Amino acid sequence: MDIVLSGIRPTGNLHLGNYFGALRNFVKIQSSYDCYFFIADLHSLTTHPHPTDFHANVKNILAEYLAAGLDPDKCALFIQSDVPEVSELFVLLNMLAYKGELERTAAFKDKVRKNSDNVNAGLLTYPVLMASDILIQRANWVPVGKDQDQHLEMARVYAKRFNNFYGVEVFPEPRAMDFGGGSLKVPGLDGSGKMGKSEGNGIFLIDDEKTITKKVMRAVTDNGPQAPDSEKPEVIQNLFTLLELVSTADTVQYFDQKWKDCSIRYGDLKKQLATDICKLTLPIRGRIMEISKDDAYLGKVVREGAEKARANASITLKAAKKAIGFRSL
């Protein structure tokens, strides 16, 4: 059975973009692949989170994963730092990673531009750690967004480089998994760009009904269609994209016709959108609240997930160290 691996940094609660872009699909494939889903706590250290927030965010993401439908009996759910083999492989791969190629990555250059006062070594070697996450589990498939394509390509580079340098076939070359429909972009409520954790334009799975309704009613719109059958501007198409994700086809068709004949009322559109988002997320929210209270269950899930992840990772690390020449005296 092919191995699928994906991780998420614990930098805030999961939003609709995370759900429709990734999590919903993880739930669908967890019975068909050997799945490893992890919380990338080591990756989040590049932004120096407060220790209290650091722990709470890890716990929140785990509860949200479980509430959204990931089943620990069908997939391995674990915390990155609970698998020390990742960090050891990270050290080994760093010996085959070069400063110039790391400095040329789009993500690193973007981080330098946005946070010039926090250009730490973790940011520079981020792709190597990501490669270690992937290669230590010998993943065949990695669900990634467009912003991570280059990092996945570098994981393939390091896999080939290691195999060629030592004349072995320790690491398979991971491929991108797009779930058959390309990378889904879930728009934010601010009129441009995709939904994000820090952009202030997101609806989170933990949001209550009042919060969701307030956010949607504040969503950016325009003055309405100026002519029949006109093209929707981005700010309006964003709302329709969200509507297509959470509402019935009949509902989407109804408001699309209202747009075409210039009779659309944005207030009605937003109320319907808020109602349908709540139908989706409020049951998940209820499960999040319940699961978050059960520390014993959360601990059991990540311990068992780490045991499976470490068992698989130890096989990889043993083979890699043997290829390099490590021997016991």
pLDDT value at residue 180: 63
Q: Which domains does the chain have, with CATH numbers?
A: 3-185+295-324 (3.40.50.620), 209-289 (1.10.240.10)
Given pLDDT bands bounded at 50, 70 and 90, which one contains residue 163?
very high
Residues 117, 120: Cα–Cα separation, whole Å? 9
Give pLDDT tens digits for 33-42: 999 999 999 9
pLDDT value at residue 197: 78
CB count within 10 Å of CB 30 equals 21
Give pLDDT tens digits for 217-231: 999 999 999 999 999
Residue type (1 letter), 271: K
Q: Coil, strand or helix: which one is 123?
A: helix
Contacts of 268 (CB under 8 A, 6+ apart): 255
Q: Coil, strand or helix: which one is 267?
A: helix
The structure's pTM equals 0.92
Sign, Cα dihedral of 185, 196, 191, 109: negative
Contacts of 207 (CB under 8 A, 6+ apart): 215, 281, 285
Q: What is the mean pLDDT of residues 281-300?
A: 98
- Residues identified as active-site: 111, 194, 197
Q: What is the mean pLDDT of residues 252-259?
A: 97
Q: What is the mean pLDDT of residues 165-178?
A: 95
Residues 4, 32: Cα–Cα separation, whole Å? 10
Q: Coil, strand or helix: which one is 10?
A: coil
- 252 has pLDDT over 70: yes
How do 34-39 and 75-79 pair as beta strands?
parallel
Given pLDDT bands bounded at 50, 70 and 90, which one contains residue 151?
confident
pLDDT more than 90, % of the chain: 84
